[in-house]
Amino acid sequence: MHGTRILQEADRLMTVCNSCRYCEGLCAVFPAMEMRRAFSDGDLNYLANLCHACGACYTDCQFSPPHEFNVNVPKTLAVARAESYAAYAWPRAFAGAFARNGLFISLIAALSVAAFIFGFAAINDPGVLYGIHTGPGAFYKLMPHNAMALLFGAALLYAILALMMGVRAFWRAIGEPIGMKTDPKSLLQAMRDAGELRYLDGGGVGCFNEDDHPTDRRKLYHHFTFYGFALCFAATCVGTLYHYLLAREAPYAWWDLPVVLGTLGGIGLVVGPIGLLSEKWKRDPVLVDEQQMGMDTAFILMLFLTSISGLALLLWRESAAMGPLLALHLGVVFALFITMPYGKFVHGIYRFVALVRYARERQMMAE
Amino acid sequence: MVDLTRRFDVLVIGGGNAALCAAISARRAGASVLVLEGAPKFYRGGNTRHTRNMRCAHDAATEILTGPYTEEEFWQDLLLVTGGQTDEELARFMIHESKDILNWIVEQGVRWQPSLGGTLSLGRTNSFFLGGGRAMLNALYRTAEELGVDILYDAEVIDLKIEDGMFLSAQLKQPVGGRTEVRASTLVAAAGGFEANIEWLKQYWGEAADNFLIRGTPYNRGAILKMLLAKGVQEIGDPTQCHAVAIDARAPKFDGGIITRHDSVVFGIVVNKHAERFYDEGEDIWPKRYAIWGRLVAAQPDQIAYIIFDSTVVTSFMPTLFPPIAGATIAELAGKLELDAAALEQTITGFNAAVQPGTFDHTILDDCRTEGITPAKTHWARRIETPPYLAYPVRPGITFTYLGTRVNRQSRMLMKDGKSSANMFAAGEIMAGNVLGKGYAAGIGMTIGSVFGRVAGREAAKNARN
Ligand SMILES: Cc1cc2nc3c(=O)[nH]c(=O)nc-3n(C[C@H](O)[C@H](O)[C@H](O)COP(=O)(O)OP(=O)(O)OC[C@H]3O[C@@H](n4cnc5c(N)ncnc54)[C@H](O)[C@@H]3O)c2cc1C
Ligand code: SF4
Ligand code: SF4
C-alpha cells in the first residue's frame, strides 16, 4: 500500500509497464523501472522525477485510454511528481505552499515588490525614488549596496538550504543504501543528460504536445529558459565579484560582462517562458495535470517578469522610471529566490538528482 | 474531407502494418490511395498495435541486430516451425525481400530500438520497434498522411462487388454518414484474420471457442476474408491452425495484448481443472514452449489450466500483470483455485517424488527431469515445496488465424479456377497462411505484412495505371 492515491496508481502502471516494456527505449524511466519488481513510495517518486513529460509513452501505448487498462504514464507521473515536491519540502511546515502554488507565489511576489517600493520610499525621500540617477552607484542611491547584498544573499542562502534539505530527504527515499554518495562519473553523466535534456525527445523524434506529431519546440524553449536563467545567474555572480574584488559599481556599461550576460540571459528568459507557456496552453489535456497548472504558470511568469523587468531596467535606467523599475525587478527577484524551494523551480533539482541516481544505477548494473 | 465520389486508383481495406505498407508503397508509386480502417482512430492498426518486433534476414551485425541471419537460416527456421507447410517459392521470396524491408521501413519513418547496453539485449534474428508496434504505426500513419494518402477511420467495409475475379466497388459503413459505395481501380485487402469472430471460430473448435481469449483487436472479424472466399478467391491454410498461447485467465476477452502472457511454465507444473498434469512442461525452450500451450489448454476440459510453482522461482521470469494466486499450503491454494485439494496434493507429491537430482539451467535443456510419472517433465524439473505456493490460471489466447486468400509473388489473389485476379491483392494476416501453414516464428507476422504489403501496393499502383 502506498501513501497516496496517485502513488497507488503509479504502482499499478509500473506493474503494467514492467510486464510490457515496449517503451524501454524511449527514456530513462522504463529501464529504471525494469531494475525493480516492486515499487516503494521512494521508487515511484524517483521514477516520477525521471520523467520529462515528453508524452511519447502515452502516444505509443496500446493501452492508453479508452483501452480498459487505462495506461497514462505521463499524467500519472506528473501528478506524482508534483506531490513529491511537497513530500520532501523543508521545513515541513511549508509543504502546504505547493497546494495552491500559483496563488502563493503571486502573493509573495506582489508583497515583495510592494515592500521594495515602500522600503525605498521610507528610507529615502520620495524624490529619490522618482529621481534620475546615472553613473556608477546609481542603484545604491535607492538602496545601499550592502543592504542589497545582505538581503539577497540571505534569501539565496535560505533557498539553497531549503533545497538541499529537500534533496537530502529525496535522496534518502530513493537511494540505496541510505547515505550513499555518488561518484563523479555518474554526476558528469547526469549533468550531460540534464544539459541536453536527453529525455525530452521521445526516444529521438521529439516531444508530443498537442497531438501525435512530435516536435522539438518544448525542448528548445526549455533550453532558452534554462540557459537564460544560468546566464542571468552568472551575470549576478560576475557583478558581485566586480563589486567586491574590483570595486566597480553597478550599473555597468552595456558592453560590460555582467550586462552582456544579463542581456543574453534576459532574452533567453523572455523567449523561453513565452514559448513554454504557449506550448502549455496547446498541450493535449489528457497529458496535463490540471492541479499543477497554477504552479507551472506562476513559475514561468516569475521567470518572465524577472527578465522583462531586468531588461526594462537596462533600457530605462537613465530615466525617472529607474526607481520603480528597480523596485519591481528586485522585488520579483527576491520573491523568486525565497519561493524557489516551494515552486516549480524544484523540478529541475529533483530531476537532476534522479538522473544522478539513474546514471549511478546504470553503472552499477554494468559493473 | 475525403471525396468518396471519386474513383481511387487503389483502395486499401484495413489499417494495420500490411495496409499502411501497401498504401505508402502505392502512393509512392504515384497512385491515389484510400485507406478504410474499420476501427476508430484509437484502435487503428489492429493487431499491429500489439507487436514489438520483426524478423528480417541480414548479412551482418548492425546497430540494432547482433550477428548475421542469413536467408538460408531464416528459411530453415521457417521450415522447422511449419513442418514444411509453407509455399517454398513465396516463402523464399519473402525472406529475400525481408532484407531490404529493414531499411525500407526506416525510410517510412519507423525507428528501431538501438542497443542501450546493460538491460537490453538485442536479438540476432529480430529487430525491435522503438516504442513498440503503436509507435511504428503512428510513424506509418504520419508518413501516409504526409504523402497524401486518404484515410478514414470507423470505416468498416461490409460488402464487396466482385465480378469474375475483378473488383468493382466496396460498400462502406460509417457511424455518421451511413453507407457509401466506394469505387477504385484496384483493391488491396489487408483486413487481418478472423480471430475476433468467436462464431466463426466455433465452426472449427466447437463450444470450446467460447472460452478463448483474443489477445488482439476486436475488429478482426474476418468479414473481408469471408467475402473474398465466397466470391471465388482460392483458399489457403487450415482453418483450425492459428497462433495460440496460454495467457492469464483474468485477461480481458479482447485486446489484452502482450502483457497477459506467462513464461513461467518451465519453472513449475501445469494442471487442468481436475488437478492433473497433462503435458511435459519441460519439453522445449522458448519460443516453442510458449506457442504450444494455447492449443494444449484449449484441449483441456473447460479450456482452463493452472501453472503451479513455489516461491523460490518468482523472480526467474518476467514480472506479470496479474499477481500470482498464493496459498500457504497446497490445500489452501487448491481452495482458491477451486480445485480438489486432495487431488492437487496428490499430483504435487507424486511429481516431487519423481524429480531426479540434476543441475538446473533454464537457458539450456538441462538434466533436471522426472522419472516414473506420466507425463514426464523432461527438463527443469524441481520439487515444488517452498511455501507460499503460487499459481496462474491460464486460458487459450488466440493471436491470429491462418486461413486466408491464396496469392502469388505479386501479392495478387488467385481465384479458385487457378487464374489470377484482374485487380485484387492481399497482404498480411489475411494471406499469412501462404507462408505459415502452421506454427509460428516470432516476428514473422510483421515480415509477412511489410513484405507483401509493400509488393501489393506497388503492384496495385502499376495495375491501376494500365
Ligand atoms: C499480442 C500480440 C503480439 C504480437 N507480437 C508480434 C510481434 O512482436 N511481431 C510480429 O511479427 N507479429 C506479432 N503479432 C502478430 C501481428 O500482430 C500480426 O501478424 C500483424 O499485425 C498482422 O498485420 P495486418 O496488417 O495483416 O493485420 P492487423 O494489424 O490486425 O490489421 C488489420 C486491420 O484490418 C481492419 N479491419 C478488419 N476488418 C475490417 C473491415 N471489414 N473493414 C475495414 N477494416 C477492417 C482492422 O481494424 C485492422 O486495422 C502479435 C499479435 C498479437 C495479438
Ligand atoms: S506505457 Fe504502455 S506501451 Fe509503454 S511500457 Fe507501459 S504499457 Fe507498455
Ligand atoms: S519521459 Fe516521456 S516516455 Fe519517459 S515516462 Fe515521461 S512521458 Fe513517458
pTM (2 d.p.): 0.94
Q: Using the atom order of ligand 1, give the atom closest to the CA of residue B20.
A: 25
Find which of A17, A62, A211 to mutate to test the B interface (most B CBs within 10 Å of its CB).
Answer: A62
Tell me which residue of B279, B303, B104, B326 sits closest to B207, measured CA to CA. Answer: B303
Residue A365 C-alpha, separation from nearest chain B C-alpha, in angstroms: 7
Distance CA B43, CA A303 (A): 42
To the nearest 10°, report the CA torsion of A266, A267, A268, A269. Answer: 50
Distance CA B426, CA B408 (A): 10
Distance CA B71, CA B134 (A): 28
Please name the residues in contact with A354: beta carbons below 8 A apart, sequence gap of 6 or more: A46, A49, A50, A174
Q: Indicate the pairing of strand B420-426 with strand B412-414.
A: antiparallel
Chain A residue nearest residue B47, CA to CA: A62
Q: Is A224 in the pocket of ligand 3 (CB under 6 A)?
A: no
Chain A residue nearest residue B41, CA to CA: A66
Among the partner residues B119, B138, B257, nearest to A63 by beta-carbon distance:
B257
- Which neighbouring-strand residues pair with B413? B407
Look up residue B414 and give its amino acid: L
E strand map for B343-465:
389-401, 404-405, 412-414, 420-426
Q: Is B397 in the pocket of ligand 1 (CB under 6 A)?
A: no
Please name the residues in contact with B326: beta carbons below 8 A apart, sequence gap of 6 or more: B333, B336, B388, B389, B390, B391
Q: Is B429 in the pocket of ligand 1 (CB under 6 A)?
A: yes
Distance CA B281, CA A180 (A): 44
Residue B215 C-alpha, separation from nearest chain A C-alpha, in angstroms: 12
Q: What is the pLDDT of residue B119?
A: 43
Chain B residue nearest residue A28, CA to CA: B116
Q: Is the pLDDT of residue B19 over 90?
A: yes
- If you count them, how many residues does chain A have? 367
Cell 523567449 belongs to which residue?
A: A271
Residue B236 C-alpha, separation from nearest chain A C-alpha, in angstroms: 31
Q: Indicate the pairing of strand B166-174 with strand B156-163.
A: antiparallel
Distance CA A249, CA A136 (A): 5
Give the distance (Å) from ligand 1 centre to CA of residue B49: 7
Residue B343 C-alpha, separation from nearest chain A C-alpha, in angstroms: 32
Look up residue A105 and give its amino acid: I
User: Probe ligand 3: pick from A199, A208, A289, max atoms within 8 Å of CB?
Assistant: A199
3-state secondary structure of A54: coil
For B437, the grid coordinates are 501453414
DSSP letters, A281-305, are HHS-GGG--GGGHHHHHHHHHHHHH
3-state secondary structure of A244: helix
- Answer whether B119 sits within 8 Å of A24, measured CB to CB: yes
- Which neighbouring-strand residues pair with B244? B398
Cis peptide leading into A251, omega within 30 of 0? yes
The H or E element containing residue B156 is strand B156-163
Tell how far CA B190 is from the center of its chain.
14
Q: Is the pLDDT of residue B362 over 50?
A: yes
Please name the residues in contact with B203: beta carbons below 8 A apart, sequence gap of 6 or more: B239
CA angle A216, A61, A43 (to 5 degrees): 85
- Answer whether A19 sits within 8 Å of B319, measured CB to CB: yes
Query: From residue B270, how far is each of A21, B353, B355, B448 by CA, in Å?
Result: 26, 17, 15, 33
Give the pLDDT mean for B373-391.
96
Runs of H (alpha helix) within B162-308: 198-205, 223-230, 288-298
Look up residue A223 and give its amino acid: H
Query: How does pLDDT run across B109-161, given as a tens digit for each residue?
Result: 999 998 655 445 568 899 999 999 999 999 999 999 999 999 999 999 999 99
Give the distance (Å) from ligand 2 centre to CA of residue A68: 13
Please name the residues in contact with B277: beta carbons below 8 A apart, sequence gap of 6 or more: B269, B270, B271, B347, B351, B373, B375
Distance CA A314, CA A251 (A): 9
Give the distance (Å) from ligand 2 centre to CA of residue B56: 24
C-alpha gyration radius of chain B: 23
Q: Is B219 in the pocket of ligand 1 (CB under 6 A)?
A: yes
Among the partner residues B118, B132, B142, nearest to A362 by beta-carbon distance:
B118
For A308, the grid coordinates are 522583462
Ligand in nearest proximity to the CA of B141: 1
Query: How does pLDDT run across B318-361, given as a tens digit for each residue?
Result: 899 999 999 999 999 999 999 999 999 999 999 999 999 999 99
Q: Indicate the pairing of strand B305-310 with strand B269-272.
A: antiparallel
Residue by residue, pLDDT tens for chain A (367 residues) are: 788 999 999 999 999 999 999 999 999 999 999 999 999 999 999 999 999 999 999 999 999 999 999 999 999 999 999 999 999 999 999 999 998 899 999 999 999 988 988 888 888 777 777 888 888 888 888 888 888 889 999 999 999 999 999 999 999 898 765 556 678 899 999 999 999 999 999 998 999 999 999 999 999 999 999 999 999 999 989 998 999 899 888 889 889 999 999 999 999 999 999 999 999 999 999 999 988 899 999 999 999 999 999 999 999 988 888 888 999 999 999 999 999 999 999 999 999 999 999 999 888 887 7
Which residue has a Cα nearest atom 7 of ligand 2?
A17
Which residue has a Cα nearest atom 15 of ligand 1?
B445
User: Probe ligand 2: pick from A58, A63, A77, max atoms within 8 Å of CB?
Assistant: A63
- If you count them, how many residues does chain B have? 466
For A356, the grid coordinates are 544522478
Q: What is the pLDDT of residue A59?
A: 96
Chain A residues inside the 8 Å CB shell of B321: 15-16, 19
Look up residue A186 and give its amino acid: S
Distance CA B365, CA B363 (A): 7
Q: Is A27 in the pocket of ligand 3 (CB under 6 A)?
A: yes
Query: From residue A349, how far is each of A5, A152, A345, B360 by CA, in Å?
Result: 24, 21, 7, 47
3-state secondary structure of B277: strand
Among the partner residues B42, B52, B114, nearest to A22 by beta-carbon distance:
B52
Please name the residues in contact with A270: beta carbons below 8 A apart, sequence gap of 6 or more: A228, A304, A307, A308, A311
Which DSSP category does B407 fall into?
Answer: B
Look up residue A326 and give its amino acid: L
Please report the sign of the dihedral spanned by the C-alpha atoms of residue B216, residue B221, residue B227, residue B229: positive
Q: For residue B298, how many other CB atoms are within 10 A of its CB?
A: 21
Among the partner residues B131, B255, B319, nearest to A22 by beta-carbon distance:
B131
Residue A169 C-alpha, separation from nearest chain B C-alpha, in angstroms: 28
Residue A48 C-alpha, separation from nearest chain B C-alpha, in angstroms: 19
Q: What is the pLDDT of residue A8?
A: 97
Give the pLDDT mean for B398-408.
94
Which DSSP category does A215 fall into?
Answer: B
Phi, psi of B11 (to 5 degrees): -105, 125
For B151, the grid coordinates are 484515410
CA angle B385, B263, A25 (to 5 degrees): 130
For B205, the grid coordinates are 473448435
Chain B residues inside the 8 Å CB shell of A61: 132, 134
Distance CA B222, CA B235 (A): 13
- Answer whether B131 sits within 8 Å of A362, measured CB to CB: no
| Start-to-end CA span in chain B (Å) | 28
Instruction: Classify burial at B376, counting beta carbons within 10 Å of its beta carbon; exposed 0-12, middle 13-18, buried 19 or more.
Output: middle
- Answer whether A203 sits within 8 Å of B257, measured CB to CB: no
Distance CA A132, CA A324 (A): 11
For B419, the grid coordinates are 487464374
Phi-psi region of B338 (alpha: psi -120 to 50; beta: other; left: phi over 0): left
Find which of B42, B134, B142, B322 to mutate to test the A interface (most A CBs within 10 Å of its CB).
Answer: B134
Tell how far CA B217 is from the center of its chain.
11
Averaged pLDDT of chain B:
94
For B399, the grid coordinates are 493471436
CA angle B358, B362, B364 (to 5 degrees): 85
Cell 505498407 belongs to which residue?
A: B21
Tell me which residue of B184, B192, B195 sits closest to B160, measured CA to CA. Answer: B184
Which DSSP category does B266 fall into?
Answer: G
Among the partner residues A60, A202, A362, nearest to B134 by beta-carbon distance:
A60
Distance CA A177, CA A186 (A): 16
- Answer whether A24 sits within 8 Å of B138, measured CB to CB: no
